Amino acid sequence: MKKTAHTWAMYGIALAIPVIFFLLFELILRVVDYGQEYPLFIDNPSHPEYQLPRPDIIKRYFAQNQQAAQPTVSMEANFLLNTKPDNGFRLFVQGGSTAAGYPYGLGASLAGMLDSRVRASKPGHYVEVVNTAMSAVNSYTLLDF
């Protein structure tokens, strides 16, 4: 069966309709400023030259009326300078509960061990290892970070 130009045009229209729908939907949501923005890093209130991972970042994935359904997980406070120094070396660790160091905490986490190893191997550098790992997350959450 030979496909005509009309058939190909219909395929194109059929594929374009859902794409256009979601683009328009996204545009409308942005114009009316729907939802809240939860940036991954916030300014440190006590030291403005530093930032830290937002402790309530899990709210990004749950609606306000679902507070009871939110898991009680958060990131440990890791401070990083607003601007990386010239001799700075900054690493970010992402992952789930194992990367977060569950159940032992920062000292047993991948970021804690990596921090001490990199500081020992780069003594003349300012090293920052930022742990954005958190329990009860999936790969889509990590991609969003």
Q: Find the range with the poorest average confidence among 82-86, 94-98, 113-117.
A: 94-98
For the stretch 78-95, pLDDT in tens is 788 888 889 988 998 888
For residue 74, pLDDT beyond 60: no
For the stretch 51-70, pLDDT in tens is 988 877 777 776 666 665 55
Give domain limits for the chain.
1-34, 37-144
Instruction: Name the E strands within the chain.
Output: 41-43, 50-53, 80-81, 88-93, 126-131
State the pLDDT at residue 26.
94
